[in-house]
Structure 1
Amino acid sequence: MPYATSSDNVRLYFEEAGSGTPIIFLHEFAADHTNWEPQMRYFSRRHRCIAYSARGYTPSDVPASHEVYTYTHFYSDALAVLDHLKIDTAHFVGLSMGAYSSLQIGINAPQRARSLTLAGVGSGSDLAALDAYREQCQANADQYHSIGATEVAKATREAPSRIPFLLKDPRGHKDFYDSLARHDSRGSGNTMRSFQGGRPSMYTLEDAIRTIPTPTLIICGDEDDHCVAPSLFLKKTIPASGLAMFPKSGHVLNLEEPSLFNETLDRFIGLVEAGHWPPRDPRSVRA
């Protein structure tokens, strides 16, 4: 099995397909590398595509201590995968947790990113509700450790932002949550405790986000309530950004609307590679 190794010796399982300009896919909390399959199949026709499972998600290693599951570890792991494959720059495509890590790449290592795609990004950023969100993350982490991933999956399969997926594709929704039920409980609990419950709100990073030079596509479902305002914030803050809003859509955008997701991402990457995704022209900003 192919593995990259992080700076702290955590093995990261990855898969790759195709050849051409590299694209690396970063999954959300409730997913793993397999949830990018519709994109791996589509984009590998013209690109070198890499999908990997984050630390805590088998077949990657599952460290025992929650202290090595911070957001810094997660975005550094993405770079470790590229380093292992001797890839200098790639298009970063992230969903939710993976989008936050991709945003951190834009802030901390923009020289490694040809572009950033931030889908379903920003839950847990509301400063007014931040303390309550972090308390809920700790409670959710305790659930993973006490009752296990199988029972947690049963309890979360009808979360509000997942309902559009259920309504459109009950079969796909079932497969998704059957997969979540097989996740490593310790890894999920540690990720929830330290990454989800410990990452800074995007709103506290505004000054750093304004310096991101990278062409950026933000994708949001209009029924993913916790991500709408953060997506608008990123659109207004990242200079070379564009926002795509998917109608009647929730959180799991790449699986809920795979054709629309692929079409939107394909157009974006094509424009970036042609040099036609510049920063916003100041003349278009209303005084």
Structure 2
Amino acid sequence: MKRRDFLYLSASALAAPRAGAAGGGAAPDFSWLDARLRERVDNGYFDGMGLVIGRGERILHEAYAGDGGPDVVRHVASTGKWTAAATIAVLVDEGRLRWDEPVRKFLPQFTDAKGSATLRQLLSHTAGYPDYQPEGRRRDDYPTLEEAVAHIVDLPAAAAPGEVFRYGGLAMQVAGRMAELAAGMPFDAIFRSRIAGPLGMRHSGYAPVSTEPGFNPMLGGSLFTTTRDFARFLMMIARGGVAGGKRILSARAIAELEADQVRGARVKRGEYVELARQDTARTDIYGLGQWREEVDRDGRPLLLSSPGWAGAYAWVDRACDVWGVVIAKANVGKAVADGYSTFLGSSIYAPMVRTALAQARDTRTKRALVPVDGGKLYYEDSGSGAPVIFLHGHSFDRRQWQPQVEALERGHRVIRYDLRGYGRSSAPQEDAAFLHADDLRQFMDALGIRRAHLVGLSLGGFVVTDFIGLYPDRALSATMAGGDLFDVPGPDEPWTAEALARRRADIAALKAAGVAPFKRRWLEDLVGHGGSGREALRQPLWRMIDEWRAWQPLHVEPRLLLGRAAPGRLADARPSMPVLIVRGDLEKIDLAIKAWLPQAEVVVIPDCGHVSNLEQPATFTATLRRFLARV
């Protein structure tokens, strides 16, 4: 087995006991998260990756891919902002610094507005400093913080202190120099004596390493560490500043680090929390050295994190009482060439851990993989009674149907699976033809289901149409929402050379523009065409779209639907099962399918766009339940 294909679970974990299960129930299954790490290494975006997930001082899971390992040292870019702020918080605890002290108290050479900025503002990116050195000036890679600060002092202020949130690194350099002057030692020595040493982070520091020269003790970018080292730091943070029975940070310091430190400063569009979580309304997005990704109604933090541009990501999830860290350093050229964002790509890890924990608590649902020709399909199965199989839309996965699952499983056997190329199912191959409808038939055969009620939305609706045209005797009923006939080439219309060239040009353009912006545009289109409650769609849709591997827009997809061949199949098969057609009133309502399915009942949901089951879940579910009851 090649080293880069190697993924293993460590036999020991930071000298702490492992947890067999997360708070009772079955042990969480993190294999899908492991698979995503392995996939990113296989794609060449990283040479190796490391993952540790824990609760308190227990390890729930530990895994490594490629040349990753528990003690492999990597620079982690902005992920080190968290440890830098914590280091300064220790000096505040010691009384050597105060959060609201101005810069000029320690650095009197700052005579302009930058000198009025406080330590708190320096570490929350609200000090009014430029984010980075301007174009034409040497980048901030001076060998000491003293030299770095000397090249910041003459830069014009970007804003008044407290006026604007401006994420960057220069202001943190000034905070680090204040710490050096207050403690009487270099910043790296402060970190090692106050944080790394007490926590046993033997491989971590803020100084250049021989394998990667050119870093100064940059608070916002030069931390080098290992997966296990950073896990020790997160254990302490998650336990309120205590590690191994010893207090490292006061409870007051932890509260300051995690509190809203933006404090009303203007936040421009497109900051990390908006991009990663599609939370467009909040401005309380940052503490000291860490993002406040999610908060409760009272503004208390639920999800805290520190992502790095090179792919590292650390988080504490107070909603689930877990923490985690992924340590990696990207092959940026390869990632950029494929349109992959090494910074935003890390946003999937914390939600995936939440999903695994929730599934471990759900003992009513069966989860497994079913083999089909050329692949495997992941499914979830709950309830009892006549089987209902749900098929999701493009860019979504089986989680799209959660509102309907909860409502129907009391009287039906409810099955939802990820279509091939989506969710946890295997990816297609560009040169391997198959039909989603044939996958569905094999899936039903594998589960011993002769006939079932079929419910699909958008892409899932097209699959249901194909299925009843090909296998009409296998459907008890058919529900197609937002999609039934798809005017695209079918399997009997192979790719022409001209069409193939256009498709490859489209793929190249998408990669050049980036997959993350593509996903955001796709989301905005779905949300933007909804009704008055469309904003409620944003976050549930984004959780699926963010984790979507985007195989389809990045490849020449085989003909997976009957497309223009479907009407002929329906005409030949003359399916007679009950059919329900659902549309949102804001969709294009084309009912051409009624010519081939005259028995179809049509329901139009008011004030609703394309994703009707999530935009108007109560109305959609009631409509479906009435239909199934009549059947």
Which TM bucket (shorter chain)? 0.7 to 0.9
Distance 1:144 1:249, change over 3 A: same
1:212-265: CA deviation from partner (whole Å, max 9, x where unpaired): 22211111112112xx11xx1112330321111112211101101111111111
Q: Percent identity?
A: 27
1:157 and 1:166 mapped to 2: Cα distance?
Answer: 15
Residue equivalent to 1:118 = 480
2:503 and 2:453 mapped to 1: Cα distance?
Answer: 30
Residue equivalent to 2:516 = 150
Distance 1:156 1:66, change over 3 A: same
1:243 aligns with 2:602: yes
Within-5 A mapping of 1:181-220: 181-187=546-552, 189-190=554-555, 193-195=557-559, 199-201=562-564, 205-210=566-571, 211-220=574-583
1:13 alignment partner, one of 353, 375, 378: 378
Report the residue type matching 1:54 in the other structure: L
1:91 alignment partner, one of 453, 474, 499: 453
Per-residue deviation, 1:158:
2.2
> Is the partner of 2:586 in helix, strand or coil?
coil
Given that residues 91 and 114 in structure 1 are in contact (C-alpha distance below 8 angstroms), is that contact kept between their aligned partners in structure 2? yes
What is the aligned residue count? 254
Report the residue type matching 1:84 in the other structure: A
Report the residue type matching 2:444 in the other structure: L
Report the residue type matching 1:200 in the other structure: G
Given that residues 57 and 188 in structure 1 are in contact (C-alpha distance below 8 angstroms), is that contact kept between their aligned partners in structure 2? no
1:39-64: CA deviation from partner (whole Å, max 9, x where unpaired): 1111101000000001111311123x
Per-residue deviation, 1:13:
0.4
Higher-RCO chain (CA-CA 8 Å, sequence separation at least 6): 1
Per-residue deviation, 1:200:
2.2
Distance 1:144 1:269, change over 3 A: farther
Residue equivalent to 1:32 = 397
Report the residue type matching 1:153 in the other structure: K
Report the residue type matching 2:578 in the other structure: P
Report the residue type matching 2:373 in the other structure: S
> Is the partner of 2:389 in helix, strand or coil?
strand
Per-residue deviation, 1:172:
3.1
Residue equivalent to 2:416 = 51
Distance 1:170 1:33, change over 3 A: same
Per-residue deviation, 1:119:
0.6
Report the residue type matching 2:592 in the other structure: F
1:256 aligns with 2:256: no
Per-residue deviation, 1:270:
1.1
Distance 1:137 1:103, change over 3 A: farther
Within-5 A mapping of 1:262-281: 262-272=621-631
Distance 1:67 1:43, change over 3 A: farther
Structure 1 gaps of 5+ residues are 128-133, 273-287
Q: Which has the higher helix share?
A: 1
Given that residues 26 and 52 in structure 1 are in contact (C-alpha distance below 8 angstroms), is that contact kept between their aligned partners in structure 2? yes
1:124 and 1:87 mapped to 2: Cα distance?
Answer: 27
Per-residue deviation, 1:108:
0.5
Residue equivalent to 2:317 = none
Q: Which moved more, 1:172-181 or 1:204-213?
A: 204-213
Distance 1:113 1:145, change over 3 A: farther
Report the residue type matching 2:370 in the other structure: A
Per-residue deviation, 1:144:
5.7
Residue equivalent to 2:39 = none
Residue equivalent to 1:3 = 369
> Is the partner of 1:111 in helix, strand or coil?
helix
Per-residue deviation, 1:148:
5.5
1:67 aligns with 2:428: no
Given that residues 12 and 54 in structure 1 are in contact (C-alpha distance below 8 angstroms), is that contact kept between their aligned partners in structure 2? yes
Per-residue deviation, 1:137:
7.4
> Is the partner of 1:2 in helix, strand or coil?
strand
1:39 and 1:141 mapped to 2: Cα distance?
Answer: 35
Structure 2 gaps of 5+ residues are 1-366, 490-498
Q: Which moved more, 1:177-186 or 1:81-90?
A: 177-186
Distance 1:145 1:213, change over 3 A: farther
Distance 1:50 1:149, change over 3 A: farther
2:477 and 2:463 mapped to 1: Cα distance?
Answer: 13
Distance 1:184 1:125, change over 3 A: same
Poorly superposed stretches of 4+, deviation over 4 Å: 134-149
Q: TM-score, normalised by structure 2?
A: 0.37
Per-residue deviation, 1:164:
4.5
Per-residue deviation, 1:77:
1.2
Given that residues 218 and 243 in structure 1 are in contact (C-alpha distance below 8 angstroms), is that contact kept between their aligned partners in structure 2? yes
1:221 and 1:142 mapped to 2: Cα distance?
Answer: 34
Given that residues 57 and 187 in structure 1 are in contact (C-alpha distance below 8 angstroms), is that contact kept between their aligned partners in structure 2? no
1:67-108: CA deviation from partner (whole Å, max 9, x where unpaired): 33x5x5211111222112111110000011111111111111
Given that residues 531 and 608 in structure 2 are in contact (C-alpha distance below 8 angstroms), is that contact kept between their aligned partners in structure 1? no
1:2-33: CA deviation from partner (whole Å, max 9, x where unpaired): 0111123x110000110000000011102101
Given that residues 144 and 186 in structure 1 are in contact (C-alpha distance below 8 angstroms), is that contact kept between their aligned partners in structure 2? no
Per-residue deviation, 1:177:
2.1
Per-residue deviation, 1:199:
4.7
1:221 alignment partner, one of 584, 588, 595: 584
2:505 and 2:584 mapped to 1: Cα distance?
Answer: 27
